[in-house]
Amino acid sequence: MVVRKKNNGTRSLVTAHDVAREAGVSQSAVSRAFTPGASVASGTRAKILAAAERLGYQPNLIARSLISGRSNIVGIGVGNLRNPFFAEALELFSHALERAGYRLLLFPIDLSTTLNAEIQEVLHYRLDALILLSATLTSALAAQCRRAQVPVILFNRRSDDPEVSSVVGNNIVGARTLAAFLHAGGHARIAIMGGIAGSSTSREREHGFLSYFEEHGLPKPIEERGDFQHDPATAATRRLLTRADRPDAIFCCNDHMAIAALNVARFEFGLEPGRDISIVGFDDVPIAAWPAFSLTTFAQPVATMVDRTIDIIRELRDEPERITHSVVEGTLVVRSSARSPRIG
Amino acid sequence: MVVRKKNNGTRSLVTAHDVAREAGVSQSAVSRAFTPGASVASGTRAKILAAAERLGYQPNLIARSLISGRSNIVGIGVGNLRNPFFAEALELFSHALERAGYRLLLFPIDLSTTLNAEIQEVLHYRLDALILLSATLTSALAAQCRRAQVPVILFNRRSDDPEVSSVVGNNIVGARTLAAFLHAGGHARIAIMGGIAGSSTSREREHGFLSYFEEHGLPKPIEERGDFQHDPATAATRRLLTRADRPDAIFCCNDHMAIAALNVARFEFGLEPGRDISIVGFDDVPIAAWPAFSLTTFAQPVATMVDRTIDIIRELRDEPERITHSVVEGTLVVRSSARSPRIG
DNA sequence: ATGAAAGCGCTAACAT
DNA sequence: ATGTTAGCGCTTTCAT
């Protein structure tokens, strides 16, 4: 029999106690039989496992984490899953965390609200770590996580608070590489479409890009903003392409916006990317490679970034206080959405 | 002071006991102060909340679920997040569950493996429900979930086991609608690209589509298979388009495959969709509307499907045994990737 | 309205 | 190697 009624009427599963009775051992023996590396005679263990099998027993993980103080759960806050960069990152995280023996508690980050309420809620599961994709963490909030003793790792973002770990791509180098690429391509009126103004990612990419032109004494690029999202990026592209001094090249601070820009340029303005206008992005999401877009971009190695994040979480087990800042290098991926420099 | 050392050296957070001492009440009073609708004098409650604030106390949700037997956590198994249909569903689920007061425990479904191991693990968190996107659930596994007393809801799939709740779109009607649309469009050699052979979704869409032609005494469509994934769909499209009797219309059993097919047709074979070849999909994912694809498709109302799923979970609170099968109707969305029937 | 006391299912000393 | 005992932090009777 698998289920029995408790006094209070709620239903109860088979407990270690039941198994102990069935196997004729103590309840702690049952616990040990399910603890890797505990000292149980192999005969006893077999007997216990058989009884457990018969009764359909499985240890209650909630009770286990209550005692151990560790939940084996990692929280992960995600903003916009329509951005394929985050969809891919989440996909990779789910597999990597699974392999590393962690469960994954997902919660949505509402970009408009303060993030405060969501995190508040989630902090009290004794998370082993909290990964934040696409979110900015204020110092106040970071302090709150520290107080709850939940280590935070920002993914693809940095915090104002230096005491928060982070894993980011090399935005400065990437943006400067793209700037040099567009400049060498002989573009005259260059524009930049920024992401979310407050994010370190956008700030770094914008700054890297603009600094290149400044240092070389070149005209300052036209600045627009697409908030890292599809619709605002579409609108921003329209504004750019209807200017009297229409730019001949646009650097979008992520691929998600670049693809929106590509669509507007080609289908609303009849401009063929790579010939009539150059558009480049940042990330190298899977669809950037599709022939329909063939986007020139700076690739962020998401898989490597995810692995680095997991490494950090593993290290946290022994050194909970440790702060790590990891910068992962990327590479320029030249496709056909932007005019390339002539060779020679 | 927020943190104190326990005897065993592990770190501990402020407990209800600490707050009780600080406020000069019993520990149970603290519990009540944090239980909505419990009988506490408002003065006492204020005193307790103030003490909690001072100490930085928040109830430990793990301990709470241990006692209540309910975790307020819903498990959600997802396969391929690169398929925008699932990315969108997950995005909607994360917000809807948040609003409904549930946490979301995400785990990856490896389509190649048996699903068994992943679910086994996750079942023991006393989940309030388990939502399975894009997975087939064998009867054996369904029985296991029942044993663990975790109600399962299949999303966009049905189970062989009638005792498992499900929320699906009307695949038969949708597929027949598309069949009629292609037929009325005057297509002569029609092909169908199936999804995962074992899935109810693919079976229903294939059956609905084929049954239309059979019932009308029309030639049987050419059959190919793209496994609901990008790369297999790309390969399947190549096989179709290199046939001697190249089809003039392809129904892909989801948009994810249809978009792959669109890319192959246009960029590898130079065929303009809607003119040289007709391609239709199923789902109406956001990017299907992009001018680069402009995919004619049968829309599944994901938001409605998600809401229905949440409704079912809510009902489960009172009637844990209840099984619900929900079928949500969709609509034909005509764009330009397929030749439309001439009017009149 | 409040406190005391008994668990929820498990782990981790401590004995034996 | 195994059993006994004492909690983990909370909710929930049961008294008062």
| pLDDT (0 to 100) of residue A144 | 84
Say if the Cβ atoms of A91 and B82 lie within 8 Å. Answer: yes
Whether A134 and A81 have beta carbons less than 8 Å apart is answered as no
Rounded to an integer, the average pLDDT of B164-191 is 97
- In this structure, of A159-163, B5-9, B131-135, the range with the lowest mean pLDDT score is B5-9
| pLDDT (0 to 100) of residue B251 | 98
Rounded to an integer, the average pLDDT of A65-80 is 89
Estimate in Å the CA A59 to C1' D3 gap, whole number.
20
Copy the structure tokens of residue A127: 């998370």
Which residue is the nearest neighbor of D5, CA to C1'?
A28
CA distances from B15 to A109, A117, B63, B249 (A): 28, 21, 11, 66
Which residue is the nearest neighbor of D13, CA to C1'?
A8
- In this structure, of A191-205, A318-332, B7-21, the range with the lowest mean pLDDT score is B7-21
Tokens 């239309």 locate to B212
**Is the shortest CB-to-strand distance from B26 to strand C under 7 Å?**
yes
Q: How far apart are the first and last CA of chain A?
A: 81
Is pLDDT at A285 greater than 70 in this prediction? yes
Is pLDDT at B2 greater than 60 in this prediction? no
The 10 Å Cβ neighbour count of residue B324 is 16
Q: B230-284, pLDDT tens digit by residue?
A: 999 999 999 999 999 999 999 999 999 999 999 999 999 999 999 999 999 999 9
Is pLDDT at A8 greater than 70 in this prediction? no
Estimate in Å the CA B21 to C1' C3 gap, whole number.
13
Say if the Cβ atoms of A98 and B87 lie within 8 Å. Answer: no
CA distances from A17 to A24, A55, A181, B32 (A): 10, 11, 68, 30
Average pLDDT score, chain A: 90
Estimate in Å the CA B66 to C1' C8 gap, whole number.
6
Q: DSSP per residue over B242-295, as a string? A: TSTT--SEEEESSHHHHHHHHHIIIIIS---BTTTBEEEEEE--GGGGSTTT--
Is pLDDT at A35 greater than 80 in this prediction? yes
| pLDDT (0 to 100) of residue A135 | 76
Q: Give the nearest partner residue to B2 out of A66, A147, A291, using CB atoms.
A: A147
Whether B93 and B303 have beta carbons less than 8 Å apart is answered as no
Q: How many angstroms separate the CA atoms of B25 and A298, rounded?
A: 60
Q: Give the nearest partner residue to B106 out of A61, A104, A126, using CB atoms.
A: A104
Residue A42, chain B, CB below 8 Å: the answer is no
Buried residues in B186-212 as b, exposed as e (16+ CB within 10 A)? ebeebbbbbbbeebbbbbbbbebbbeb
Estimate in Å the CA A43 to C1' C14 gap, whole number.
24
**Is the shortest CB-to-strand distance from B25 to strand C under 7 Å?**
yes
| Set of chain B residues whose Cβ sits within 8 Å of the Cβ of A149 | 3, 11, 13
| pLDDT (0 to 100) of residue B280 | 98
Residue type, B242: T
Rounded to an integer, the average pLDDT of B207-227 is 97
Say if the Cβ atoms of A105 and B104 lie within 8 Å. Answer: yes
Which has the higher per-residue pLDDT, A209 or B38?
A209
| pLDDT (0 to 100) of residue B140 | 80
| pLDDT (0 to 100) of residue B344 | 60
Q: A121-154, pLDDT tens digit by residue?
A: 788 888 999 999 987 777 788 888 888 889 999 9
- In this structure, of A93-97, B6-10, B50-54, the range with the lowest mean pLDDT score is B6-10
Collect all residues with Cβ–Cβ distance below 8 Å to A202 and sequence separation of at least 6: A194, A195, A196, A228, A253
Protein-covered nucleotides of chain C (CB closer than 7 Å) are 1-5, 7-13
- Kindly state the percentage of chain B with pLDDT values over 70: 94
Rounded to an integer, the average pLDDT of B201-229 is 97
| pLDDT (0 to 100) of residue B8 | 34
Q: Residue A39, CA: closest nucleotide via C1'?
A: D1
Estimate in Å the CA B2 to C1' C1 gap, whole number.
29
**pLDDT class of A26 with cuts at 50, 70, 90:** confident
Q: DSSP per residue over A61-75, as a string? A: HHHHHHHHS---EEE
Rounded to an integer, the average pLDDT of A181-195 is 97
Q: A223-281, pLDDT tens digit by residue?
A: 999 999 999 999 999 999 999 999 999 999 999 999 999 999 999 999 999 999 999 99
Q: How many angstroms separate the CA atoms of A115 and A136, rounded?
A: 9
Which has the higher per-residue pLDDT, A54 or A252?
A252
**Is the shortest CB-to-strand distance from A26 to strand D under 7 Å?**
yes
Say if the Cβ atoms of A69 and B122 lie within 8 Å. Answer: no
Is pLDDT at A119 greater than 90 in this prediction? no
Residue B311, chain A, CB below 8 Å: the answer is no
Q: B317-337, pLDDT tens digit by residue?
A: 888 889 999 999 999 999 999
Please name the residues between 80 and 99 in chain A that touch chain B, using a CB distance below 8 Å. 80-82, 84, 87-88, 90-91, 94-95, 98
| pLDDT (0 to 100) of residue B322 | 92
**Is the shortest CB-to-strand distance from B71 to strand D under 7 Å?**
no
Q: Residue B19, CA: closest nucleotide via C1'?
A: D9
In terms of C-beta density within 10 A (0-12 exposed, 13-18 middle, 19 or more buried), how is residue B281 classed? Answer: buried
The 10 Å Cβ neighbour count of residue A212 is 20
CA distances from B66 to A12, A64, A121, B103, B192 (A): 11, 10, 17, 16, 51
**pLDDT class of B58 with cuts at 50, 70, 90:** confident
Q: Give the nearest partner residue to B103 out of A122, A147, A290, using CB atoms.
A: A122
Whether A65 and A71 have beta carbons less than 8 Å apart is answered as yes
Collect all residues with Cβ–Cβ distance below 8 Å to A140 and sequence separation of at least 6: none
Say if the Cβ atoms of A105 and B105 lie within 8 Å. Answer: yes
Protein-covered nucleotides of chain D (CB closer than 7 Å) are 1-5, 7-13
Is pLDDT at B309 greater than 80 in this prediction? yes
Which residue is the nearest neighbor of C9, CA to C1'?
A63
Q: How many angstroms separate the CA atoms of B208 and A241, rounded?
A: 46
Q: How many angstroms separate the CA atoms of A156 and B167, rounded?
A: 35
SS3 label, residue B22: helix
Estimate in Å the CA B126 to C1' C6 gap, whole number.
23
Residue B331, chain A, CB below 8 Å: the answer is no
Q: How far is B319 from chain A (nearest CA, A)?
A: 12
**pLDDT class of B112 with cuts at 50, 70, 90:** low
| Max intra-chain CA distance, chain B | 87
**pLDDT class of B12 with cuts at 50, 70, 90:** low
Residue B105, chain A, CB below 8 Å: the answer is yes
pTM for the model stands at 0.92
| pLDDT (0 to 100) of residue A113 | 62
| pLDDT (0 to 100) of residue A259 | 98
The 10 Å Cβ neighbour count of residue A232 is 18
Please name the residues between 169 and 198 in chain B that touch chain A, using a CB distance below 8 Å. none
- C-beta contacts of A108-113 below 8 A and 24+ residues apart: A108/A77, A108/A78, A108/A79, A108/B91, A108/B94, A108/B95, A108/B98, A109/A77, A109/A78, A109/A79, A109/A133, A109/A134, A109/A135, A110/B95, A111/A79, A111/A80, A111/A196
Which has the higher per-residue pLDDT, B22 or A248?
A248
Instruction: Count contacts between A and B (CB, < 8 Å).
Output: 147
Collect all residues with Cβ–Cβ distance below 8 Å to A273 and sequence separation of at least 6: A262, A265, A266, A279, A294, A336, A337, A338
Whether B302 and B93 have beta carbons less than 8 Å apart is answered as no
- Kindly state the percentage of chain A with pLDDT values over 70: 94
